[in-house]
Amino acid sequence: MIALVEKVKEFVRHNLGLSVMTVVTICVLIFFIGCQATVVSPVSGERVNRGELMIEYQSFTDKMLLAQTDLDTQDKMKEELSKIAVTLAEGGTLDPVGIATALIALLGIGSIADNVTKDRIIKTQSNVNKPS
């Protein structure tokens, strides 16, 4: 065993440049293979890798789409209420059953939109918090 160590020492002393470059090359290879590139996320402000950044991007995009859907729903409700107000202002009569049906339909649409929004937020939260 001692003879083997002496032979290795002699080889390293004789080929010092090659030995040092071999160690440096191994260290560089370990760095490139083992270390992922990271960046500061514009969403969370934390350092993330490419996969985590894509998850944050998808989560942000989903939240924006949900917000737009909510705004569209609110605009539709305003439009329906303004139609009712115009009909009343013109002296027309409204069918109370029709109004009740329309309001119940609006409440149903609102609750469905709310449930979809909550489901997506929960799904997004569980995907972000899921260990990799």
In the prediction, which pLDDT does 94 show?
A: 65
- Residue 24 pLDDT > 70: yes
DSSP states of 35-97: ----EE-TTT-SEE-HHHHHHHHHHHHHHHHHHHHHHHHHHHHHHHHHHHHHHHHTT----HH
Please tell me what DSSP assigns to residue 5. H
pTM: 0.44
Query: Tell me: the pLDDT tens digits for 61-99?
Result: 999 999 999 899 889 888 888 887 777 667 666 667 777
In the prediction, which pLDDT does 12 show?
A: 84
Please tell me what DSSP assigns to residue 130. S
Q: How many CB atoms lie within 10 A of CB 8?
A: 11
Q: How confident is the model at residue 126 (pLDDT cuts 50, 70, 90)?
A: confident
| CA dist., res. 99 & res. 123, Å (int) | 36
Q: How far, in whole angstroms, is CA 52 from its chain's centroid?
A: 8
